[in-house]
């Protein structure tokens, strides 16, 4: 009996987050992951489990959607990020550290883990029960809130609250005030106003992955 209990405790210690691992539910193009216990990159397929410490990267024209009991995340092309922590309760946050790329997320309001953080080199975003997107590249961090609100912490700056329908840009030397631009998107294609922003900043191109009729039901 003692031996069995020891095995159970050891398994829990090693794989405590396994019960809430992320699972790949949609894969398009070249998507790979590397676990914290291995130096090899492995192709992500539908059903692949991703755990705390795993790294994910996507190739050109690629996309992956991963889910657990609290979060629904979509990672688009040319992205690289790490699942730094998988939260287990309302205090322990799930954290994704983004080196580059684009992430769309939906944090379930009724989930046990109500905190989610995305960290880039020049900003951190704290999320509670919302739908949002974050992209990061050489020119900085771009955030957009589809529903709810997001707390943005620019590196070395003050906290900024970004609400539904607003977006914010945190560049290396400038942080904009929240601007109303998310409402200029329409399912299926961007309207004329959003099209102008699309030409100014290529990062907005990833937003069209979400604001597309064929993906709408999959995100809700």
Domain assignment present for residue 120? The answer is: yes
The Cβ-side half-sphere exposure at 124, using a 13 Å CA radius, reads: 15
Residue 117: per-residue pLDDT: 92
Domain assignment present for residue 3? The answer is: no
Average pLDDT over residues 187-193: 53
Domain assignment present for residue 7? The answer is: no
CATH code: domain of residue 175: 2.60.120.1440
- Residue 145 and residue 128: Cα distance in Å, rounded? 11
The answer to whether residue 93 scores a pLDDT higher than 70 is yes
The answer to whether residue 101 scores a pLDDT higher than 60 is yes
Residue 198: per-residue pLDDT: 64
Q: Are 208 and 189 in contact (CB under 8 A)?
A: yes
Residue 67 is part of which domain span? 21-219
The answer to whether residue 199 scores a pLDDT higher than 50 is yes
Domain assignment present for residue 5? The answer is: no
pLDDT band per the 50, 70, 90 thresholds, residue 217: very low
Domain assignment present for residue 27? The answer is: yes
Q: What distances in angstroms separate CA 105 from CA 71, 92, 211, one per listed residue?
A: 7, 18, 13
Number of domains present in the structure of the chain: 1
pTM of the model: 0.79
Which value, to the nearest 10 degrees, does the dihedral of the CA atoms of residues 201, 202, 206, 208 take?
80
Domain assignment present for residue 59? The answer is: yes
- Residue 41 and residue 59: Cα distance in Å, rounded? 13
Domain assignment present for residue 2? The answer is: no
Domain assignment present for residue 215? The answer is: yes
């Amino acid at each position: 009996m003692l031996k069995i209990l020891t095995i159970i405790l050891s398994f829990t210690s090693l794989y405590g987050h396994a019960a809430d691992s992320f699972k790949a539910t949609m894969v398009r193009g070249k998507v790979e992951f590397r676990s914290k216990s291995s130096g090899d990159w492995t192709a992500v397929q539908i059903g692949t489990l991703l755990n705390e410490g795993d790294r994910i990267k996507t190739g050109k024209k690629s996309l992956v959607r991963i889910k657990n009991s609290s979060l629904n995340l979509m990672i688009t092309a040319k992205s690289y990020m790490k699942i730094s922590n998988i939260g287990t309760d309302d205090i322990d946050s799930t954290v994704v550290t983004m080196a580059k790329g684009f992430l769309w997320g939906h944090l379930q309001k009724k989930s046990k883990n109500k905190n989610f953080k995305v960290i880039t080199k020049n900003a951190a975003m704290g999320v509670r029960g919302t739908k949002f997107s974050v992209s990061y590249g050489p020119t900085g961090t771009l955030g957009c809130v589809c529903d709810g609100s997001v707390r943005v912490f620019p590196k070395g700056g003050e906290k900024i609250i970004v609400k539904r329908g607003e977006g914010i840009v945190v560049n290396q030397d400038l942080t904009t005030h929240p601007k109303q631009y998310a409402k200029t998107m329409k399912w299926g294609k961007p309207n004329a106003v959003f099209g102008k922003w699309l030409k100014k900043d290529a990062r907005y191109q990833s937003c069209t992955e979400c604001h597309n009729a064929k993906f709408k039901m999959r995100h809700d």
